[in-house]
Structure 1
Amino acid sequence: MLHYRKSTLIDAPVEVVWNFHERQDILERLTPPWQPVQVVRREGGLGVGAISEFRLFFGPIPLRWVAIHIECEPYSIFTDKQKEGPMAYWVHRHQFSPEAGKTRLTDRIEYGLPGGWLVERLLGWWVDAQLEQLFSYRHQVTQIECSRIGEET
């Protein structure tokens, strides 16, 4: 099992950061423009049972990725788990913690690669590098958007 973690202090209250993640277009907004990903659907918001479906492109080959939300405590945490997709295992926890009037946004991912421990040893570093690019982008967008929204209120 491999692990990835990214944590950023967002300059906005928890309610603002949580509500930003509830936007209907959040998946499009948080997908980096350089990633070959298409958002197919998002149903159910952040609550338990919510579904997100993506089409990932590895060169000309499209792969379907479906994630279902398995945990939700409003203004605190929501967790999604891969139901169908390219990983052997994937659980992603999104945590929102108040910190001095701001929000500590932490993404924690536990994942496994198809092919087991040998493939994880060979490619885990590469997946972590991809996740770091993705979540650096996501946290930067969240910081910019939520700081702006916080200034408006």
Structure 2
Amino acid sequence: MKIYTLKSKQNLPISIEEAWDFLSNPKNLKTITPDYMGFNILSGDDKPMFSGQIIQYIVTPILSIPTKWVTEITHVQDKKYFVDEQRFGPYSLWHHKHFLKKIPGGVEMEDIIDYKIPMGILGQIIHPILVKPKLNEIFDYRRKKLVELFGDYKISNL
């Protein structure tokens, strides 16, 4: 069984409160997801984030095929971190940790995703060709969109 890990860090010139308010609100996922993915929340975004929250949405990540994805927010520590885990969807495992840390002049966001591709050896073959590049593309989009929304972090923000 092959489990992959994707890590991403980004600094933003905003307060930890502003970062938390934006990132912990499921409604903002659509804003930081590429339009071609057809991201649409079906349910679960009507309350502030809490442990046990179930969020259902549709995405079309590959070949315009709509896929239902259900995640559960399993852990929340206000203004520090939250974890979402896939309950149903395209992965055999999806465990996404979101960390926030105050830094001089802003906040550091860190994402750590542990995931497993279905289909055994076939999944392992398509991972470097299709899945990993698509995930990198999505996180590159997210990085650019967050800079567009909140500005570029510069060490001179001190």
TM-score bracket for this pair, using the shorter chain length: 0.7 to 0.9
1:31-70 equivalent positions in 2, closer than 5 A: 31-43=33-45, 44-57=47-60, 58-59=62-63, 61-70=65-74
**Structure 1 residue 19: Cα displacement:** 1.0
Q: CA deviation at 1:70?
A: 0.4
Q: Deviations over 1:19-58 (max 9, x none)?
A: 1124463122122112233222233432211222111234
TM-score by length of 2: 0.82
For residues 54 and 79 of structure 1, the distance between their equivalents in structure 2, rounded to whole angstroms, comes to: 17
The answer to whether the 8 A contact 1:47-1:78 is kept is: no
For the structure 1 residues 76 and 121, does the alpha-carbon distance in structure 2 shift closer, same or farther, using more than 3 Å as the test? same
Percent of aligned positions that are identical: 21
Distance 2:69 2:98 in 1: 18
Instruction: Report the equivalent of 2:80.
Output: 76
Question: What is the aligned partner in structure 1 of residue 122 from structure 2?
Answer: 119
Q: What's the C-alpha RMSD, in Å, of the aligned pairs?
A: 2.0
User: Whole-Å Cα distance in 2 between the matches of residues 94 and 143 of structure 1?
Assistant: 18
The aligned length equals 147
Structure 1 segments unaligned to the other structure (5+ residues): 149-153
Moved over 6 A (4+): none
Cα distance between partner residues in 2 of 1:121 and 1:54 = 26
Is 1:2–1:124's contact at 8 Å kept on the other side of the alignment? no
